[in-house]
Amino acid sequence: MNEKELILKAMKEAGEPLNAGKIAELTGLDRKAVDKAMAAMKKDGSIVSPVRCKWQPAE
């Protein structure tokens, strides 16, 4: 499973919008790796921000 898949899985299991620090904690990934993967995911539209600084999978 790659970083993007791990991040999406953690987001779906949490059932609420998460910030990058919480995602890093839940997945065990390095914070910088999470930030980098999330930047790409924001660009491709696979995650959205319902509230400031928190993200969830796009519908």
pLDDT of residue 59: 81
Task: Tell me the pLDDT tens digit for each residue of 14-25.
Answer: 999 999 999 999
Spatial separation of the C-alpha atoms in residues 3 and 47, rounded to whole Å = 14
pLDDT of residue 37: 97
Spatial separation of the C-alpha atoms in residues 48 and 29, rounded to whole Å = 20
Domain count of the chain? 1
pLDDT of residue 1: 80
- Residue 38's CATH number: 1.10.10.10
Task: Tell me the pLDDT tens digit for each residue of 3-55.
Answer: 999 999 999 999 999 999 999 999 999 999 999 999 999 999 999 999 999 99
What's the pTM? 0.89
Range of the domain at 7: 3-57
